[in-house]
Amino acid sequence: MNRVDQAFSRCRDDGRPAIMPYLTAGDPPEPVLGDLLVAMDAAGADIIEVGIPFSDPIADGPVIASAMHRALSRGITPERVLEEVRRVRGSIESALVAMVSTSIVVHVGVDAFVTSCGDAGFDGLIVPDADLDDFDRLGTACRRAGLTLSPLVAPTTGLERQRAIADRASGFVYLLARAGVTGERSSAPDIEGRVEALRTVTDLPVCVGFGISTAEHVRAVGRHADGAVVGSALVRVLDQAHHQGADVCAAAHAFVTDLR
């Protein structure tokens, strides 16, 4: 069974939502990505999303967009991300999902990129800017490599479109809590109705992201959804720890522990 499926199975047994932190590969520069993954795994992350830096992120707010810019300026490439994942894969239990722009996938080649991700130890992909038609080829490549493929569903997406998206999904469906871009918010989103609607067209786990920032938000989201993605808040904490000369791995561990 794919590690993504295993993670949701464990969480169902525990009666809780999956904790799904996001970080941008290569930011901060130290410690390296693999060490951060080990720290978050030890803190109890169920599924870790690894953002592969891209020069024109379409859905990311200023915190993550800045992190990607910093990582690219340091020479972080998809190949370096895969090397780090490969280095630590045997040491961590968490499922690993790459969030990557379709431009990178197409540049490398769909089959070649998906295969290299699987060989490195990734368990799934999120390709947020892929067209629905792209998911047919992506899905075939992911099934061949044993990876999940999780599309995004926007707040404005109608039910029939949701059905078409969910039919091409595996692992989980990523429901955006809010319109717009990623970023921290002061209050938990109201997602009950949208989760219930999405469940009428798919049996896959439904995970919610965009604006999930605190343990209280995770608790609120977890009353309805199967997982909560926390990105900008963690990226900000890691950047602050780096600039303050603090232990970045310890900061990552403490943040995920609090969410858990």
**pTM: predicted TM-score of the whole model, two decimal places:** 0.93
Instruction: Name every residue whose Cβ is closer than 8 Å to that of residue 260 and which is 6 or more positions away in sequence.
Output: 19, 43, 44, 45
**What's the pLDDT at 177?**
82
Q: Which domain holds residue 217?
A: 3-259
Q: What is the pLDDT of residue 133?
A: 87
Whole-number pLDDT of residue 178:
63
Low-confidence ranges of the chain (pLDDT < 70): 57, 59-60, 178-189
Number of domains present in the structure of the chain: 1
pLDDT of residue 150: 97
Task: Name the nearest CA neighbour of 152 among 133, 122, 132.
Answer: 132
216-246 tens-digit pLDDT: 999 999 999 999 999 999 999 999 999 999 9
pLDDT at position 189? 60
Predicted confidence at residue 184, as pLDDT, reads 43
Residues 104-134: pLDDT tens digits?
Answer: 999 999 999 999 999 999 999 999 999 888 8
Check whether the bond before 31 is cis (ω within 30° of 0).
yes
Q: Active-site residue among 41, 46, 49, 239?
A: 49
Dmax over CA atoms of the chain, in Å, equals 50
Indicate which residue of 27, 41, 46, 60 is catalytic. 60
Give the pLDDT confidence score for residue 1 in this predicted structure. Answer: 81
For this structure, is 119 an active site residue?
A: no
49 is catalytic: yes
CA dihedral for 92, 236, 241, 76, sign (positive or negative): positive
pLDDT score, position 59? 60
Q: What is the CATH number of the domain that holds 218?
A: 3.20.20.70
